[in-house]
Structure 1
């Protein structure tokens, strides 16, 4: 899969279209390594208010050796979904499964699970203890999970795999002595030292310069190729999704509204929300940017019908009325999307156009 080489920035969508669309889709394993089925997370409202539906009926699969980008604007539920997949939040309904087995929330089972599924946080400066050396930061996970006789070798190997070479040169350094990209590599090494099967990366390059972003994205792709790692990358940046992901899941107000192979979703999106997100990218193809009106609705008061209809430019323009679906958009909730790899959109208008 194409990706930015070391030292490069993010490849513009318009420059990558031909190369990406020419690639054949890789076969996916029958059993996803990590999956959510009917997952819902609700938080109690204050003073008798309705509960907030942060995640509301999500199906999502991550296959072995696959990178899935979870995309959406702030407040759509991406981070809550990621925390639930990590076992940090208990779902109100639905299940999280690892290698086909439902996740157990007993302390011993969670401990074993978290060796296999590791988190990479957004802000490396905030996630590293300023009083710990690089060696202590990377070795911490090993020590929490029972230690290892070959601790020094495993820490050195993790740092080397994360691109910090020679690793011994970084052992006694502190976070303030490192650049932003080096700190992010230390965070990634801290996840790699436990030899996980899956990485959940929450905005892994949001705080980095463009040139360093390219290096970290190239690193994640190399780790996928060398170690067979799977990854769920949480981001608001569709350009990042284009460069790194095999599949994209677009989230709005607690639910996946469009999903499918990255080249299909980012070249020919069907949901008007995805179209609006793409239209404002600097590297998007020529066209008028779609500026959505208003703010996303309160997750404790999800509107009836399609949850996007109150901001939908298709409905506002009259195109949905012409297609005969305007009433359905306002009263009938689209079907919840499956977690499989095929392209899907939770949109009455898109479905009507497909039938036509």
Structure 2
């Protein structure tokens, strides 16, 4: 992985809005910049409803942004049928639920070969399918060709889904909660597989997860989302051992062996993308503001009134910026 390389996949000023009942508008993604380097694994983390799945779908071209751009290899993504088909060969999705992703009437061979057939790739189909299954850890691959999904374990089904992505030789995999439906004993195997694919094939990956422990085990970098925005971003070991945004601190505080002294219990209502508060969008639930620390630093009014976006310091927090300035 080369952090200095040009981004393979990136987004600038990305916004995705949906109409909601009652004439309201949900700001599911609300001004996101993101970069994925070649060979990098980026974890996209946050609570349910924070916008991470919508962001992933937009990066895949499955949702069209209301504003902003997605770029692959430096070229803006185009939304014609032909352009999207070519793009989806290079950027593949791995779904959360392998049972839902696999047609129960298709054999493993047909499930993996489906991508090749959609893209009109007819050369060496059998060899390509066997190679993809083998790379996904299903060996010998021929043993699984005529097997049906119901005959496989959950971990084996997830490996078939991964093989279906690998068969097209993508440069990027976007995995949405790739181990959420699996037993704990199998989770480690699938995470180890994703790491091995990165090392062997140079694959880059975005892993969508609410599980910071998973991010710690697999990612190079992490982007923490809250209410449609990335609020903190950086190397995973730094963010999870020295979290600076109060929201990240709350998430990290409940991890086993957390570096923070005690758990942070967030107050207030869970985020609602149709009612984004003014000021810092986290301020109604912020323990730093509620505890008086923001007032001591002289930024409590800013927290309530002034919006704050991710800056060159990779954090979206008035208080954290003030404290980092005070210590430099």
TM-score (norm 1): 0.90
CA contact (8 A) 1:64 1:230 kept: yes
Distance 1:137 1:27, change over 3 A: closer
Match status 1:32 vs 2:2: no
Q: Mark the runs of 5 or more structure 1 residues left unpaired by the alignment.
A: 1-25
CA contact (8 A) 1:257 1:337 kept: no
Q: Distance in 1 between matches of 2:5 and 2:189?
A: 32
Count the aligned residue pairs: 326
Deviations 1:271-316 (A, max 9, x none): 0100000111233246221111132232111101100000000000
CA contact (8 A) 1:297 1:303 kept: no
The equivalent of 1:346 in structure 2 is: 316
The equivalent of 1:355 in structure 2 is: 325
Bigger shift: 144-153 or 65-74?
A: 144-153
Q: Distance in 2 between matches of 1:214 and 1:46?
A: 41
Q: Mark the runs of 5 or more structure 2 residues left unpaired by the alignment.
A: none
Q: Distance in 1 between matches of 2:211 and 2:128?
A: 33
Q: Distance in 1 between matches of 2:325 and 2:283?
A: 20
The equivalent of 2:20 in structure 1 is: 45
The equivalent of 2:30 in structure 1 is: 56
Bigger shift: 280-289 or 201-210?
A: 280-289
Q: CA deviation at 1:28?
A: 1.4
Q: Tell me, what secondary structure is at the counterpart of 2:173? A: strand
2:81 to 96, 100, 107: 107
Q: Distance in 2 between matches of 1:352 and 1:294?
A: 25
Match status 1:245 vs 2:215: no
After the TM superposition, list the runs of 4 or more consecutive aligned residues in structure 1 that deviate by more than 6 angstroms: none
Distance 1:303 1:58, change over 3 A: same
Q: Distance in 2 between matches of 1:27 and 1:149?
A: 33
Say what the alpha-carbon RMSD is for the aligned residues: 1.1
The equivalent of 2:54 in structure 1 is: 80
**Structure with more contact order per residue of length (Cα contacts < 8 Å, sep ≥ 6):** 1
CA contact (8 A) 2:231 2:309 kept: no
CA contact (8 A) 1:260 1:344 kept: yes
The equivalent of 2:118 in structure 1 is: 144
Superposed, 1:167-316 pairs within 5 Å as 167-285=141-259, 287-316=261-290
The equivalent of 1:157 in structure 2 is: 131
